[in-house]
Amino acid sequence: MSNEARPASNFIRNIISEDLKNGKHKTTITRFPPEPNGYLHIGHAKSICLNHGISLDNPGAKFHLRFDDTNPEKEEVEYIDSIKEDVAWLGADWGDDLYHSSDYFDFIYDCAIHLIKDGKAFVCDLNAEETREYRGTLKAPGKDSPYRNRSVEDNIDLFEKMKNGEFKEGEKCLRAKIDMSSSNINMRDPVIYRIRFSSHPRIGEKWCIYPIYDFTHPLSDALEHITHSICTLEFEDHRPLYNWFIENCPVPSTPRQIEFARLNIDYTILSKRKLLQLVTENHVEGWDDPRMPTISGVRRRGYTPKSIRTFMERIGVTKKDTCIDMSNLESCVRDDLNEISLRSMAVLKPIKVIIENMEAEETIDLDCPIHPQKPELGRRSIVFSKTIYIDSDDFMLNPEPGFHRLGPGREVRLRYGFVIQCKNVVTDDNGNIIELHCHYLSETRGGKRPEDGRKVKGIIHWVSEDDKASAEIRIYDRLFKIENPNSDNFLEHINKDSLEIIETAFVHKDILGAKAFDHFQFERIGFFSVDPILSSDGAPVFNRTVTLRDAWTKSKK
């Protein structure tokens, strides 16, 4: 991340600067604490960039990656692996600081015992439904559990038996003894341990009781000496509970929790649960489907880590919930791809063009820059020959006003080549275009005007018969049809036309050797990247990463 602009300050960085100035901490330890119950999405990237970015600010600062793996039923090794890959890809280096809450289960268990001995936790026999009834509502206080006043000895004994597997799931749980009349429902004697006879992906069957996330998370932070526990706003109401656990358990440090607004982006959803549903119900091709807002999806589509980091810097960190336009993210992607993508020409929906005033075997050598700002990369040879292909979008049988490209009797310039004139359109019985018969103007090479000096407005891309190679190109659109699909019926808003597969587009044969994730700009069309899964040696499949311009926002207006 070294050659990027220094991150702008934000309210969290200001708090941290104060804490360092006041000598509260010598340096910082921040962390990214995912639950391994799905793949990461762009929202998580905000948290990763923020927490890792802070660790770059101060000498001696550290960044931890910690899996908050307290829920054995929803967690899988596949998710753990994908999360590591995604965090590393974003450039957030955790060094040796990779942790798992499940490694702390002994410590967390000791904390529970500590609470019991202090009379601050009890084993409760209420079932789920009764617990809900006793909890009260936002308007009404809760009621004490009838088991709340068990003796310390009974609680120790029962908790031990829970641990030893002597009770069934749901038969008993351990609850903190806080305040059933608190206006904050999180403080109403929350459950901290429950019985689960499930195998944990990392530690197997060692435990049949599992600490609840709300208990595990603050204790894990404290055990790791996290100085600033940065989380999203929905945890604001949990802060008093987390502080209560920290104050009442034998922890080695006191993290400071700071909340910020989560990232929302229009036309997509950033919720693991909903993304999981898209995958399991086959609405997309997988977690890494290039239409998905997952890190693996956007990576496969051709987004770069730098573009995501730039985006996070641009949108900043605040306490106010907002929804960001997808076009902001795309603009960052475009900026980076413009720098790094090699140029080439490709024709998505070819129309054959016969250059009538050329001999069958005649060819003319031309070339184009591989990158306009990087002359050191040299030039790509292109061959002009009697048969070439142009995109069907660049031809109209009955051109509308304002259309400056090819039509019957019209002329247009071929990029890096000649001006051609359309003399004749060959159609089949149904009026479908079979081929165009054109003449080229030999004096117009190198951008020169025709002999009489007239201006030719349109410039189009093309590929010649000699250069062409077929390749599959995939065009993606927004995954949802509406701006805010974040409702329970989000499936109804899926854009069924979000994937267009063009099986035989024509690309320049030079780029058939492209490797997975290589970036190209197909001139006038967009930025494309080689799909890592669908491609094979010598047969790349290209994903359209992003269009050249923000046509979307324009058409919306």
Residues near ligand ATP (CB under 6 A): 33-35, 43-44, 46-47, 231-232, 262-263, 270-273
- In whole angstroms, what is the distance from residue 3 CA to residue 539 CA? 34
- Active site includes 35? yes
- In whole angstroms, what is the distance from residue 355 CA to residue 423 CA? 10
Among 363, 398, 397, CA closest to 381? 363
Nearer to ligand ATP, 162 or 212 (CB): 212
Q: How far is the CB of 486 from ligand ATP (least distance, A)?
A: 11
Q: How far is the CB of 83 from ligand ATP (least distance, A)?
A: 8
Distant-in-sequence, close-in-space partners of 71: CB < 8 Å, separation ≥ 6: 35, 37, 210, 213
- In whole angstroms, what is the distance from residue 313 CA to residue 483 CA? 23
CA dihedral 312, 314, 320, 326 (to 10 degrees): -70
Instruction: Work out whether the CA dihedral 200, 203, 208, 211 comes out positive or negative.
Output: negative
Angle between helices 42-57 and 11-21 (to 10 degrees): 30
- In whole angstroms, what is the distance from residue 384 CA to residue 61 CA? 59
Q: Strand runs (DSSP E) across 235-330, as ranges?
A: 256-260
Nearer to ligand ATP, 326 or 514 (CB): 326
**Alpha helices in 75-206, H assignment, sequence order:** 77-89, 105-117, 128-135, 152-163
Nearer to ligand ATP, 262 or 445 (CB): 262
- In whole angstroms, what is the distance from residue 53 CA to residue 313 CA? 10
Pairing of strands 350-355, 433-441: parallel
Q: How far is the CB of 521 from ligand ATP (least distance, A)?
A: 30
Q: How far is the CB of 33 from ligand ATP (least distance, A)?
A: 6
- In whole angstroms, what is the distance from residue 103 CA to residue 232 CA? 24
Q: How far is the CB of 409 from ligand ATP (least distance, A)?
A: 55
Nearer to ligand ATP, 49 or 111 (CB): 49
Nearer to ligand ATP, 66 or 380 (CB): 66
Indicate which residue of 150, 172, 175, 272 is catalytic. 272
Nearer to ligand ATP, 313 or 523 (CB): 313
Q: How far is the CB of 69 from ligand ATP (least distance, A)?
A: 10
Nearer to ligand ATP, 33 or 142 (CB): 33
Indicate which residue of 35, 75, 259, 330 is catalytic. 35
How far separated are the first and last CA of the chain, in Å rounded?
36
CA angle 104, 107, 109 (to 5 degrees): 105
Q: How far is the CB of 230 from ligand ATP (least distance, A)?
A: 7
- Asked if 498 and 283 touch (Cβ cutoff 8 Å), the reply is no
Q: Which residues pair with 494 in a beta bridge?
A: 480
Q: Is 518 helix (H, G, I), strand (E, B) or coil?
A: coil
Q: Which residues pair with 342 in a beta bridge?
A: 520
Q: Which residues pair with 502 in a beta bridge?
A: 473
Nearer to ligand ATP, 127 or 487 (CB): 487
Q: For 96-113, b where at least 16 C-beta lie within 10 A, e where not — what string?
A: eeebbbbebbebbbebbe
Indicate which residue of 84, 256, 262, 445 is catalytic. 262
Among 379, 118, 124, CA closest to 247? 118
- Asked if 34 and 68 touch (Cβ cutoff 8 Å), the reply is yes
Query: Which structure tokens are listed for 137?
Result: 């509502």
Nearer to ligand ATP, 272 or 508 (CB): 272
Q: How far is the CB of 43 from ligand ATP (least distance, A)?
A: 2
Among 260, 299, 236, CA closest to 46? 260
Q: How far is the CB of 79 from ligand ATP (least distance, A)?
A: 9
Nearer to ligand ATP, 309 or 386 (CB): 309
Q: How far is the CB of 199 from ligand ATP (least distance, A)?
A: 21
- In whole angstroms, what is the distance from residue 413 CA to residue 460 CA? 6
- In whole angstroms, what is the distance from residue 554 CA to residue 361 CA? 45
Question: What are the residue numbers of the active site?
Answer: 35, 262, 272
